[in-house]
């Protein structure tokens, strides 16, 4: 099946040559005794937390309980005895005909035969597959009902009611194929919701880099931001006043379910700053649960000007809140 962790990663199309392994200080691939085959060992992957969570949920089928909910569109009657295996009710073409369960003939000499046990074992196996498939179908319908995403149309060829041939249940290969088909469509449906969330503007290697047996890879990503969402951390004022000789206390609010990191920090920057990590004038780490950061009077610039106070999230490694600071003398 599809791995929810790795299946949620994205990567842009690779259009650069293999980045490993080079002879040091050259552009020549490995000429040592090992003579390694060139490979793309250096990659840039990304994933979206909400997308990964939805994919994980979509691939959780639950137990083998075969009971069906009355308000769902799936029932035991949807498992067809008569529908053509290769028709719209089938997930994949039938590979083999169904085999009847037969008892083995007793061996000559009157030796006992274990045919009954083998047949019972087969029946148990088929019943397990049947229960598993019905549980899969129920969970699939529940997920579609909760999310409003219809992802079974391609798998079944039907618009609403989901039907499946018994061959899909009793044949392990067909069952596995049907399961894989549904999983792929589930993941594709989730991914389509987030396809415009991150765009890769460029993805290339640094061919001029020769200090290593690897070539570094760089990617420029454009991340969409939903401006309708409330900010997780905000300063309590758009503009703080700071008189010379006084300390400056900046206060901020933290929304529910937003985690404040122990290494979050607040800094003062010039108004034309672009990178808080490089352009800060002074910074202080936040005190958990306090909601404020205090800067000493000695940090005042000593003249009238406008600075900006920036809250930097250690978890996101990015600024998440900004406000002005009017310095007075």
Higher pLDDT, 2 or 26: 26
Higher pLDDT, 160 or 22: 22
Please enumerate in sequence order all residues whose Cβ is within 8 A of that of 111, keeping only pairs 6 or more positions apart, or say none.
none
Measured distance CA(291)–CA(321) in Å, rounded: 13
Please enumerate in sequence order all residues whose Cβ is within 8 A of that of 91, keeping only pairs 6 or more positions apart, or say none.
155, 156, 164, 165, 168, 174, 177, 178, 181
β-strands 79-80, 164-165 pairing: parallel
DSSP 3-state of 58 = helix
Residue (of 299, 295, 292) closest to 321 by Cα position:
292
Higher pLDDT, 182 or 218: 218
**Residue 53 confidence (pLDDT):** 85
pLDDT, average across residues 24-40: 93
**Residue 303 confidence (pLDDT):** 95
Residue 284 has pLDDT above 80, yes or no: yes
Which sign, positive or negative, has the C-alpha torsion 259, 265, 268, 269? negative
Residue 244 has pLDDT above 60, yes or no: yes
**Residue 202 confidence (pLDDT):** 96
Measured distance CA(112)–CA(107) in Å, rounded: 7
**Residue 180 confidence (pLDDT):** 74
pLDDT, average across residues 197-215: 93
Against a cut of 0.85, is the pTM above it?
Answer: no
**Residue 61 confidence (pLDDT):** 53
Higher pLDDT, 167 or 41: 41
Contact assessment for residue 60 and residue 139, using Cβ atoms and an 8 Å cutoff? yes
Q: DSSP secondary structure string, 212-267?
A: SSB--EEEEEEE---TTSPPSEEES-SEEEEETTS-EEEEEEE-TTPPPPTT-EEE
Contact assessment for residue 171 and residue 90, using Cβ atoms and an 8 Å cutoff? no
DSSP 3-state of 120 = helix
**Residue 151 confidence (pLDDT):** 43
| 121-155 residue pLDDT tens | 666 766 666 666 666 666 655 655 555 544 444 44
Share of the chain above pLDDT 70, in %: 62
Q: Lowest mean pLDDT: which of 6-15, 208-217, 218-227, 249-258? A: 6-15
Which sign, positive or negative, has the C-alpha torsion 221, 227, 233, 234? positive
Contact assessment for residue 252 and residue 291, using Cβ atoms and an 8 Å cutoff? yes
**Residue 66 confidence (pLDDT):** 36
Residue (of 298, 296, 273) closest to 284 by Cα position:
296
Please enumerate in sequence order all residues whose Cβ is within 8 A of that of 73, keeping only pairs 6 or more positions apart, or say none.
141, 160, 161, 162
Residue 169 has pLDDT above 80, yes or no: no
**Residue 85 confidence (pLDDT):** 38
β-bridge partners, 234: 253
| 70-101 residue pLDDT tens | 222 333 344 444 433 333 333 333 343 444 44
**Residue 251 vs residues 104, 237, 328: alpha-carbon distances, Å:** 82, 8, 19
Measured distance CA(291)–CA(253) in Å, rounded: 6
H-assigned helices in 65-171:
115-147, 153-156, 167-170
Contact assessment for residue 10 and residue 160, using Cβ atoms and an 8 Å cutoff? no
End-to-end CA distance of the chain: 67
Residue 203 has pLDDT above 70, yes or no: yes
Residue 166 has pLDDT above 90, yes or no: no
| 210-230 residue pLDDT tens | 999 999 999 999 998 777 777
Residue 103 has pLDDT above 50, yes or no: no
Please enumerate in sequence order all residues whose Cβ is within 8 A of that of 68, keeping only pairs 6 or more positions apart, or say none.
74, 75, 76, 134, 138
Residue 171 has pLDDT above 70, yes or no: no
Higher pLDDT, 60 or 210: 210
Measured distance CA(140)–CA(32) in Å, rounded: 53
């Amino acid at each position: 099946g599809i791995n929810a962790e790795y299946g949620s990663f994205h990567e842009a199309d690779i259009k650069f040559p293999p980045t490993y392994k080079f002879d040091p200080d050259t552009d020549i691939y490995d000429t040592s005794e090992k003579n390694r085959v060139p490979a793309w060992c250096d990659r840039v992957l990304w994933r979206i937390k909400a997308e990964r969570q939805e994919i994980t949920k979509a691939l959780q089928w639950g137990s083998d309980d075969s009971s069906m909910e009355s308000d769902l569109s799936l029932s035991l009657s949807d498992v067809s005895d008569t529908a053509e295996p290769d028709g719209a009710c089938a997930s994949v073409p039938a590979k083999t005909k169904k085999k009847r369960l037969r008892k083995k003939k007793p061996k000559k000499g009157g030796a006992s035969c274990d045919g009954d046990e083998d047949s019972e074992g087969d029946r148990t196996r088929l019943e397990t597959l049947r229960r598993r498939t019905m549980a899969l179908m129920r969970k699939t319908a529940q997920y579609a009902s909760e999310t409003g995403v219809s992802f079974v149309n391609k798998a079944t060829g039907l618009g609403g009611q989901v039907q499946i041939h018994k061959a899909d249940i009793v044949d392990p290969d067909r069952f596995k194929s049907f399961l894989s088909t549904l999983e792929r469509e589930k993941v594709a449906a989730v991914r389509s919701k987030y396809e415009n969330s991150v765009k890769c503007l460029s993805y290339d290697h640094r061919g001029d880099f020769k200090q290593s047996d690897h070539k570094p890879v760089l990617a420029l990503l454009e991340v969409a931001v939903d401006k309708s969402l409330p900010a997780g951390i905000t300063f309590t004022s758009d503009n703080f006043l700071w008189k010379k000789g006084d300390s400056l206390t900046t206060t901020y609010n933290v929304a529910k379910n937003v985690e404040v990191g122990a290494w979050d920090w607040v800094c003062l920057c010039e108004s034309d700053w672009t990178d808080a990590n490089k352009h800060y004038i002074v910074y202080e780490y936040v005190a958990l649960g306090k909601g404020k950061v205090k800067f000493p009077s000695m940090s005042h610039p000593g003249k009238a000007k406008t600075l900006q106070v920036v809250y930097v999230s250690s978890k996101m490694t990015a600024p998440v809140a900004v406000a002005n600071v009017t310095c007075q003398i």
